[in-house]
Amino acid sequence: MSLLDIDGLAVAYRTPRGDIQAVREVSLSIAAGETVAIVGESGSGKSTTVHAIVRLLPAAARVSAGAVHFEGRDLVAASDRELRAVRGRRIGFVPQDPTVSLNPVVRIGDQVAEVLRVHGLADRRTAAVRAVEALERAGLPDAAVRARQYPHELSGGMRQRVLIAIALVGDPALLIADEPTSALDVTVQRQILDHLDALKRERGSSLLLITHDLGVAADRADRIVVMTDGRIVEQGTPSEVLGSPRHPYTRRLIAAAPSLNVDRARDAVAPGTGPALRGGLVTDAETPPSTEDRAPGSTSSRATAAPSRPTETASPVLEVDDLVKEFVLPGGR
């Protein structure tokens, strides 16, 4: 059994204009240590899928079919008590919009420490120390000083790191990051993704990464899952999905991504001669790696991408209180 198994998941939103079927028959598994990227255009159901996994759907949403098993436990059917034991502890979640996800009147160090406290993982003093360590691991500069500041005193990139620290401080087996970089500039995006990669390797945990950006997915994921209109239409290794896409939607997505040039990468270099590019960012002056060698998961077979343009941040499904109370502070404030 995988770490996470989603089987036939369907989610609908009730609206005054009728039901919106946001997720349809989604089945997906994530193994221990694996990084899976879900890609797809805005509105394709990526956030709804992950909110269903962590049961953070708004009241208007209903899981109408399917099951989500995590470490053998059915999260759809789990009691609130069982869920509290999982969220923030076994599953860390970095939400899509950092601006609404931190409590504006609580110092950031306390917000990180609170996760350890509510899960009974540390006493107050130890939690404060581990909070600063988690902020450091998430790449926040001057973490000890910053820990005493409030969210409004931090930049957007720093706030994103605080959210990552909150998601990671309990050492979860699975980290779900919903567009963790879309509101950030390209350099900060790369730093954040590098940190997630490093933390994942250190801990052997799994990562479910949601992104608009095919270049990010190509570069970071063991497996890419393509969603459109609430369905998964294709999944495979980055070289399979981007090098020889089978579904017309995937082909359109690739064609619409000016930053991604898989053909150029495949054609330009003889097998084995391409440099092993870290970060997957290529400029015209650099030689892209070969994609002839199609060993699944091998870095040399990955598609390459130029820096992508930042995408807009979609309106959040969750309100501050939902997130902080229900997820980050499962015991309530």
**Least distance CB 314 / Mg ion (angstroms):** 5
Total residues at interface with ligand ATP (CB under 6 A):
18
Q: What does the block give as tokens for 206?
A: 């799994």
Residue type, 35: T
Binding stretches for Mg ion (CB under 5 A) = 46-47
Quick one: which segment of 44-52, 79-87, 103-111, 197-205 binds ligand ATP (CB under 6 A)?
44-52
Quick one: which segment of 41-49, 107-115, 153-161, 318-326 binds ligand ATP (CB under 6 A)?
41-49
Q: Select from 307, 314, 320, 325 the one that contacts ligand ATP (CB under 6 A).
A: 314
Q: Which is nearer to ligand ATP, 58 or 275 (CB)?
A: 58
**Least distance CB 60 / ligand ATP (angstroms):** 5
160 binds ligand ATP (CB under 6 A): no
Do the Cβ atoms of 52 and 26 come closer than 8 Å? no
Q: Please choose, from the candidates 45, 51, 41, 40, the residue with its C-alpha nearest in 3D space to the C-alpha of residue 20.
A: 45
10 binds ligand ATP (CB under 6 A): no
Q: Which does 45 bind (CB under 5 to 8 A by kind): ligand ATP, Mg ion, none?
A: ligand ATP
Report which residue's Cβ sits closest to Mg ion. Answer: 47
Q: Which is nearer to ligand ATP, 60 or 198 (CB)?
A: 60
Mind spelling out the 3-state secondary structure of the chain?
Answer: CCCEEEEEEEEEEEECCEEEEEEEEEEEEECCCCEEEEECCCCCCHHHHHHHHCCCCCCCEEEEEEEEEECCEECCCCCHHHHHHHECCCEEEECCCHHHCCCCCCCHHHHHHHHHHHCCCCCHHHHHHHHHHHHHHCCCCCHHHHCCCCHHHCCHHHHHHHHHHHHHCCCCCEEEEECCCCCCCHHHHHHHHHHHHHHHHHHCCEEEEEECCHHHHHHHCCEEEEEECCEEEEEECHHHHHHCCCCHHHHHHHHCCCCECHHHHHHHCCCCCCCCCCCCECCCCCCCCCCCCCCCCCHHHCCCECCCCCCCCCCCCCCHHHHHHHHHCCCCC
Q: Which is nearer to ligand ATP, 15 or 79 (CB)?
A: 15
296 binds ligand ATP (CB under 6 A): no
Site string for ligand ATP, 95-134 (x = CB under 6 A): -x--------------------------------------
Q: Which does 43 bind (CB under 5 to 8 A by kind): Mg ion, ligand ATP, none?
A: ligand ATP
**Least distance CB 67 / ligand ATP (angstroms):** 19
Residues 154 and 33: their CA atoms lie apart, in Å, by 32
Do the Cβ atoms of 241 and 294 come closer than 8 Å? no
Q: Select from 47, 160, 290, 291 the one that contacts ligand ATP (CB under 6 A).
A: 47
46 binds ligand ATP (CB under 6 A): yes
Site string for ligand ATP, 50-79 (x = CB under 6 A): --------x-x-------------------
Residues 16-35 close enough to bind ligand ATP by CB under 6 A:
20, 22
Residues 118 and 160: their CA atoms lie apart, in Å, by 22
195 binds ligand ATP (CB under 6 A): no
**Least distance CB 296 / ligand ATP (angstroms):** 26
Residues 211-230 close enough to bind ligand ATP by CB under 6 A:
212
Largest Cα span, the chain: 59
Could you list the residues that contact ligand ATP (CB under 6 A)? 13, 15, 20, 22, 40, 42-48, 58, 60, 96, 212, 314, 317
